[in-house]
Amino acid sequence: MSDSPSASYLPEHPPVTDWVHDFDHTDPVWTDDPFPIWETLRAASPVVHTERFLGCYMPTTYQAVKEIAYDTEHFSSRRVIVRDVRPEISARAPPITSDPPEHKPAKQVLLPPFTPDAMKRLEPRVRAICNELIDAFIADGHCDAAARYTKHIPVRAIAHMLGIPEKDGDLFIKWIHQILELGIKDENEMMSGVREMTGYFMAHLEQRKLEPGDDLISQLLRAKGPGGQPLTDEHVLGSLRLLLIAGIDTTWSALGSSLWHLAKTPADRERLVAEPALIPTAIEEFLRAYSPVTMAREVMKETTISGCPVKAGNMVLLSFPAANRDPAMFPDADKVVIDRKENRHAAFGLGIHRCVGSNLARMEMQVAIEEWLKRIPDFRLDPAGKVTWSEGTVRGPRQLPVLFGKNA
């Protein structure tokens, strides 16, 4: 955000005047409302290019995004964030930063703890977390739903899974801000976040080696790699880094966008209050229309995507959010249709890198929306407040002032 406190010491990018040939996903215009920009880019070409970020492509159609997501031969995941710089690759986060053949064994270790059945066991704790949070502000008749509600649910859920104190959540949020937002333009911020996080988890690793438990850190330490040997500390740390970075502001964002939509759309809100069985379908539509996560790839070998030549050495901004707004794939792509029946959205990615936490995210969203609507069925955006959106790779409201109860 141009008015966020962090903006003052970030190197400024020149404002964009030609989106088709000079796009920039950190431009304040994009941050505020990317949808018309994507429409312009899609109308121009299935793949566009910018000289910013040391050279970067962006597929603009569902088809082009899908071609790249499925093509691990020409497109590597070793860098998954488009930044101003391309620092040496030091802090890996398998399997998100892995390519075949290393990818599959690294992912298989993480899949069993995140199945829908495993998430059912976590659900009661998440429901309790939601209600504890609501208890703290419901009497006020107003709150910043991003700061008081959506932000804390994924942090506490992940902390609970990892067996670490839920109160350490503020630390996690700080590191994620350094890595995903400030880190786009400031390598030192990114490295400092990664270093602190690694130190924190190293201490927990050592402690679990002495006193193993049932938590996810202990499970990873017990897990066996492809050759039957235990995972290295570096691998476990990388996967923990991934769970934290990928599991928190993503769901925070998806939840925030869902509540933002419901706050400004009384008809949809009233329908979900009257028909709670429709909530899972509505959540899929929120995930499509307000997909939070944009990934990246690095072009390793020259190839062609949807007829467009793509050259090695460039990054790719892999915008699942833009793919999900492609009218060639979704009728009324720009409308939020909460009972949309056919919805092959790609909010959790396509191909081998399908988000390992998708079942967790869906459970958190369902529980958080259900509990909110049960206790706060009537709410609206606070006209005196301002909704602000995160910059960069993960998009969602960071301030979401709403009125309810006596103020509804």
Partner 1 sequence: MSKLKIRVDQDKCQGHARCKSLAPELFELDEYGNAHEVGDGTVPAGLEDKAWLAQTNCPEIAIEVTEE
Q: Out of 354, 374, 386, 407, which residue is the one contacting partner 1 (CB under 8 A)?
A: 354
The tokens for 384 are 């005196």
Stretch that binds partner 1, among 7-15, 196-204, 338-346, 373-381 (CB under 8 A): 338-346
114 near partner 1, judged by CB under 8 A: yes
String of b and e for 48-82 (b: at least 16 CB within 10 Å)?
bbbebbeebbbbbbbbbbbbbbeebebbbbebbbb
Select from 346, 392, 356, 395 the least CA-distant residue to 69. 346
Select from 308, 245, 213 the least CA-distant residue to 81. 245
112 near partner 1, judged by CB under 8 A: yes
Cβ-based neighbours of 267, under 8 Å, separated by 6 or more: none
115 near partner 1, judged by CB under 8 A: yes
Q: Compute how many residues bind partner 1; rule: CB under 8 A.
A: 23
116 near partner 1, judged by CB under 8 A: yes
Strands 379-381 and 401-404: antiparallel
Report d(CA 322, CA 35) in Å as an integer.
8
332 near partner 1, judged by CB under 8 A: no
Q: Out of 15, 44, 51, 108, which residue is the one contacting partner 1 (CB under 8 A)?
A: 108
Footprint (CB under 8 A) of partner 1, residues 361-380: 362
Report d(CA 64, CA 42) in Å as an integer.
10
Report d(CA 162, CA 348) in Å as an integer.
22
- Angle at the Cα of 378 from the Cα atoms of 376 and 382, rounded to 5 degrees: 100
Q: Out of 253, 359, 390, 393, which residue is the one contacting partner 1 (CB under 8 A)?
A: 359
Q: Out of 344, 386, 407, 408, which residue is the one contacting partner 1 (CB under 8 A)?
A: 344
What angle in degrees, to the nearest 10, is found between the helix axes of 116-137 and 358-375? 30
Quote the least distance from Cβ 356 to partner 1, whole Å: 9
Stretch that binds partner 1, among 13-21, 46-54, 228-236, 358-366 (CB under 8 A): 358-366
Stretch that binds partner 1, among 104-112, 196-204, 249-257, 387-395 (CB under 8 A): 104-112
Binding mask 232-271 for partner 1 (x = CB under 8 A): ----------------------------------------
| Contact positions vs partner 1 (CB under 8 A) | 108, 111-112, 114-117, 280, 284, 341-346, 348, 350-352, 354, 358-359, 362
